Chain A
């Protein structure tokens, strides 16, 4: 399992070679994640200033804590 952290504001910057993340327009608490070999997923985020994303690339989607 790969751990990836990113300070807000989120942008178009790839978090790693295989993962992109951006905010969802018109939502203050959601992000959309694109992960190679997996697909797209929309997640709630629980903190405005910081998000820790744990992506398990063997499973669909990911987990945001």
Chain B
């Protein structure tokens, strides 16, 4: 084991964590858990032998947590995907969301990636949010503002749609 962080005996993780290694000694990890009904987002920064954590308590009526999505290069912010219905951005050291966005349509899947990783998006400088539903819609995305205009939208064939529905 490289490093560990004990959260507590009664917590229940709600999705997979997201971890970014910035240097040999510095790793930033985000996780989302339920502590006796208290929904908490935690950012755990391990810097050599030093460990810092920051927790953000999530309030209000939320659909269930579906996933955490990485954004940016160093893990200083995170996207929380609430049931493919709402996306919120949180920053390390902050107490509330930077922005929230009600996801249009009824997507089956959300993911983020670097624009340079796809031929479709390689000419822009941004992270990309891919919303997969009846269409695959690519949005430029940042930790500052919610998505606005899509870069491109591509209809998905039935085979792909059925594959997504089976996930």
Contacts and interface: CB of A to CB of B under 8 A. Distances in A.
Give the interface residue-count category, chain A: 20 to 34
Interface in A5-42: 11-14, 18, 20-22, 24-27, 30, 32-42
Contacts of B16: 11-14, 20-22, 34
A36 B12 contact: yes
B1 interface: yes
Interface stretch (B3-11, B56-64, B131-139, B143-151): B3-11
B115 to A, nearest CB: 16
Q: From DSSP, what is the main secondary structure of chain A's interface residues?
A: strand
Interface stretch (B21-29, B86-94, B95-103, B155-163): B21-29
B3 A36 contact: no
Given A22-B17, A25-B20, A41 B5 contact: yes
Contacts, number: 90
B18 interface: yes
A37 to B, nearest CB: 5
Give the interface residue-count category, chain B: 20 to 34
Given A40-B44, A60-B6, A32 B13 contact: no
A11 B109 CA distance: 13
B142 interface: no
B20 A24 contact: yes
B55 interface: no
19 contacts: A18-B12, A18-B13, A22-B17, A25-B21, A25-B75, A26-B20, A27-B21, A34-B13, A34-B16, A34-B31, A36-B13, A37-B8, A37-B9, A39-B7, A42-B2, A42-B29, A43-B1, A60-B4, A63-B1
